[in-house]
Amino acid sequence: MTTTTKENNRTSKFTCNCSPVIISDNMTGKMRGVPAISTSVALNPICKQRAKDPNSICAKCFAAATVKRYGGLRENLKHNTSVLTQEVLPLDDLPQFTFAVNMVRLEAFGDLNNVIQVRNYFNICRKNPHVHFALWTKNPHLIAIAINDGFSKPDNLVIVYSSPLLNVPVITIFARYDFVDKVFTVYDKATIAEQNININCGAKSCASCGLCYFDKKVKYINEQLK
């Protein structure tokens, strides 16, 4: 079981309490200024299996390369994986974001491991009703299990399904999982040119764009392969 003693708690410039859940609060690039809660892709068995498939976008995982490069980040994500996947945390132990925060990304460096993690994320969303959360995942089946068990999706959570294949948006996901709000797909330059793909993610600031967090009419988020 996870030990959630005061000694394990951390603070963040984006929160007004201490929590065993570590917030990534100095993100760079398009994520600058947006807090994130993530687990380790290197410790997720589902991610590791997908990375073995050369046809999967997971074989070109940007997060895995980043985690290998930065030891501090690697340890923080390892810690979150342990804290968020072993037990449903008491509400008092979950991060309370300040009212200056209006958007938080869930899983900037990893993915869902199990249903316990889903329940913890749902509870974080409910504890912070003023915040717009967005969760990127290739594992919506875990969310489906949580919902079928009676844990409804929070109103302030957008679920973004990440297409597992390069250049192939999974448009059927909406019919299979009605709780999915958007589909995120990565395209290479050749396909972008050939199919005239509208790239609406990547070359802008998430904090100023907010397309994934606030605009429910846009169903497809497209990014160019890094």
In a domain, residue 27? The reply is no
- Report the pLDDT value the prediction gives residue 7, as an integer from 0 to 100: 56
139: pLDDT confidence band, cut at 50, 70 and 90?
very high
| Euclidean distance between CA atoms 12 and 25, whole angstroms | 7
In a domain, residue 209? The reply is yes
Identify the CA nearest to 119 among candidates 96, 151, 156, 94: 151
Span between the terminal Cα atoms of the chain, in Å:
38
Residue 141 has pLDDT above 70, yes or no: yes
Burial 24-38 (b: 16+ CB within 10 A, else e): bbebeebbebbbbbb
What confidence tens digit (pLDDT) does each residue in 151-168 have? Answer: 999 999 999 999 999 999
Q: Which residue has the higher pLDDT, 4 or 31?
A: 31
Question: In angstroms, what CA-CA distances link 223 with 78, 112, 204?
Answer: 27, 21, 11
In a domain, residue 1? The reply is no
What confidence tens digit (pLDDT) does each residue in 41-63 have? Answer: 999 998 888 888 888 888 777 77
Describe the strand order of the beta sheet including 157-162 as a list of residue ranges: 36-37, 103-106, 132-137, 157-162, 182-187, 220-224
In a domain, residue 217? The reply is yes
Range of the domain at 57: 6-22+33-224
Burial 173-192 (b: 16+ CB within 10 A, else e): beeeeeebbbbbbbbeeebb
2: pLDDT confidence band, cut at 50, 70 and 90?
very low
148's torsion region: left (phi>0), alpha (psi -120 to 50) or beta? alpha
In a domain, residue 167? The reply is yes
In a domain, residue 194? The reply is yes
Q: How many Cα neighbours within 13 Å face the side chain of 24?
A: 28
Number of domains in the chain: 1
> What mean pLDDT is predicted for residues 56-78?
82
| Euclidean distance between CA atoms 125 and 154, whole angstroms | 7
Residue 35 has pLDDT above 50, yes or no: yes
| Euclidean distance between CA atoms 132 and 151, whole angstroms | 19
In a domain, residue 172? The reply is yes
